[in-house]
Amino acid sequence: MLAQINGINLYYNDLGRADLPPIVLIHGFPFSSEMWQAQVEALQKRHLRIITYDIRGHGRSDVGDGQYTIELFVDDLMALLDHLKVTKTMLCGFSMGGYIALRAIERSPERFSSLVLCDTTSRADPNEAKIKRANSIKIVKNEGVEKYADIFLKAVFAPTSFATRTDMIEKTRGIILANPKIGICGALLAMAARTDTTEALSKIRVPTLILVGEHDTVTPPGAARDMHDRIPDCRLRIIENTGHMSSLEDPDAFNGHLMRFVDEINLQ
């Protein structure tokens, strides 16, 4: 479905009755809501309203002008919640989706009942990461999305996944290639310019789950532990033998932790 959100058409899926507890899943860079397929299938076995959407410039959402910020992505999220008449929701964000989730709960804590942070960090980019993102923009512009996808996939999947999960990696590559250059470059700029939400972690007053791949080198377990130590009501689960893409590399383990957390929250 499409919604007119902040001057663009934003694509979203809304599954489950409107009176059920909602959960919103925010995908990472440079993917789309398709990355959540295994999680949506698992969540549909619970009594939940499941909402996924494509961040502007990704998937089936409009690109707009390509001048993105994390603040704009949060504006889009909040406007989508208003469009769907969701006043309070569970929020789950992966990687860049986690950056959006952390800023959203910092800005509007009253709108969220619980938080799931997947392979992400509260820290802003250091200079080295900013330069790396600038170089990534050069690659996308000069050599194309296919070249960038090949480099990116090697960084986010555990080495063993290239031997054991080739079908899943190829599917993920297809999701990346479906995104336009301007959307990818705009998101890279947004992530490089994002604020640091670390000091706000201690103010989070909702139950929180942090999931991270054991071999995640993009947002490593150390970053997850740092967030866990700062958030008052927080659980940390490390998913063995996975990299940054833990939800895709071992969906059974990932979903097991997510479902237990969701069940716990719904019993409260």
pLDDT per residue over 123-133, tens digit each? 999 999 999 99
Cα 250 from Cα 178, distance rounded (Å): 24
What is the per-residue pLDDT for 265?
87
On the question of pLDDT at 149 being above 70, the answer is yes
pTM of the predicted model over 0.85: yes
Cα 61 from Cα 6, distance rounded (Å): 12
Please report, rounded to a whole number, the percentage of residues in the chain having pLDDT higher than 70. Answer: 99
Cα 112 from Cα 89, distance rounded (Å): 5
**Side-chain half-sphere of 87: how many Cα atoms within 13 Å?**
1
Cα 77 from Cα 53, distance rounded (Å): 9
Burial class (CB in 10 A: 0-12, 13-18, 19+), 67: exposed
Query: Sorting pLDDT into bands at 50, 70 and 90, what band is 221?
Result: very high
Helix (H) or strand (E) holding 176: helix 166-177
Average pLDDT over residues 238-259: 97
What is the per-residue pLDDT for 268?
60
Q: Taking a C-beta distance cutoff of 8 angstroms, is the pair 16, 50 a contact?
A: yes
Domains held by the chain: number: 1
Average pLDDT over residues 157-184: 95
Average pLDDT over residues 71-78: 98
Q: For the chain, give the mean pLDDT.
A: 97
179-197 pLDDT per residue, tens: 999 999 999 999 999 999 9
- What is the bridge-based pairing of β-strands 8-15 and 22-26? unpaired
Distances (CA, A) of 261 to 9, 16, 91, 183, 230: 32, 19, 12, 33, 19
Block residue for tokens 């663009």: 8
Q: Spell out where the chain has E strands.
A: 2-5, 8-15, 22-26, 49-53, 89-94, 112-118, 208-213, 234-239
Output the domain CATH number for residue 69: 3.40.50.1820
On the question of pLDDT at 266 being above 90, the answer is no
Average pLDDT over residues 27-45: 97
Distances (CA, A) of 122 to 103, 144, 201: 9, 30, 8
Cα 1 from Cα 242, distance rounded (Å): 33
Cα 170 from Cα 99, distance rounded (Å): 26
Nearest to 64 by CA among 192, 187, 194: 187
**Side-chain half-sphere of 103: how many Cα atoms within 13 Å?**
24
On the question of pLDDT at 108 being above 70, the answer is yes
78-106 pLDDT per residue, tens: 999 999 999 999 999 999 999 999 999 99
- Phi first, then psi, for residue 212 (nearest 5°) are -150, 145
Distances (CA, A) of 173 to 149, 166, 179, 257: 6, 10, 10, 26
Where in the sequence is the domain holding 38, given as residue range(s)? 2-267
3-state secondary structure of 150: helix
Burial class (CB in 10 A: 0-12, 13-18, 19+), 229: exposed
Average pLDDT over residues 50-76: 98
